[in-house]
Structure 1
Amino acid sequence: MSRRIGRFVYGTTPTWGTWTPSLGTSQASEVAAEVAASDLGRTCVAEAIRDYDREIDRVDGLVGAAVWVPQADPGMPMAVMVAGSVRGDTEMPTVDEYADELRRPARRRGVKVLDRTVERVDLPVGPAVVETEITASRTSRRVVCGVAWTVFPNGYLDTVQMHFRTSFPDVLDALRGESELMVGSLQIEPDEAS
């Protein structure tokens, strides 16, 4: 029997400031005060929260967003994260099929893939696929690094996705470590109506 995800929770380290997607404007100052020590740092973090919240505003199914500030002083935001669930059905690919699909990515216009890995891992809640990618815009040359987790919780139709992104390639390994901590702490609660 496969159930639906009612809700899920995950832990963060104190270097992450979290907010509810679509409420970034109202929560930005409070969240920034939790992770940045200086006035300038709090201003930068609050601005990053508002910008990212506008970017993710129209994405359905999101339950959490966060900004990573590894050092409270100077308080520079180094990465962002978003988490959500995707409703599944009996036609959903298995974890291995999904990993195979990701290994054959579609070309994206205007984007050059500099490095990319896809691997299957086992977590306490079930198997997952983690995709790590470094891309550059062909027009602006802006580099973006991402770590995307898709978790297939045991006994559930739905998946959990957590996406981490940074524009600082030198922190990608540390960001991957942070993502492993968050995803490793994932706890799933069933939807009682399913």
Structure 2
Amino acid sequence: MIEYHHDDHVSTITINRPEKANALTSAMLRELINAVEKSRGSRVTILTGIGKVFSAGAALEEVQNGLATDPAWEILSQAVADQKGLTICALNGTLAGGAFGMALACDIRVAVPDARFFYPVMKMGVYPQPSDPKRMEHLIGPSRTKMMLLTARKIDAETALRWGLIDDIAAPGDLIDRAHELAAPAKAASLDLVGGIKDMIKR
């Protein structure tokens, strides 16, 4: 359900469980962590999904077993954040719940026009993953972060772009091409240069 492909300095990690809105099980979370670790030497890593939803977050059948607060979510997002190469989240559709972590940890986020964004921790009665509020605040500011987390507001792609939650919008058929277009300079550079520039930007 997690596919990994590497070609010409670019690693692509794909969530492939469209019949369940790409909801992540515990096993899939660990597959994602392994795939991100596998891509560690890549100049570019692209995270994407199959179908009309990038990921609905935690699989409902495992929420009662504590999946929503599993430390693996934080391990995954930190593994993405620690990548030396450029990381791009190509959001093929809606982003929800715990799946926010890996998207927020990416350097760039591109979404299709129909994507929706919501993080309903208040409705679920759980805390967000530890690093997510700060990463979200860094992108959209404290007030909008509170709007997302404390009111469970759902926003569309245009609003997400205006707020700075995503960086670009591309038609579904052009999404991966847009990701590769954005990745081209990093793909042609050295990993040390890509990582060095990222280090200069980090707070």
**Taking CA–CA contacts closer than 8 Å with sequence separation of 6 or more, which of the two structures ends up with the larger relative contact order?**
1
TM range (shorter): under 0.3
Name the one with the larger helix percent.
2
Name the one with the larger strand percent.
1
Query: TM-score when scaled to structure 2?
Result: 0.22
Query: TM-score when scaled to structure 1?
Result: 0.22
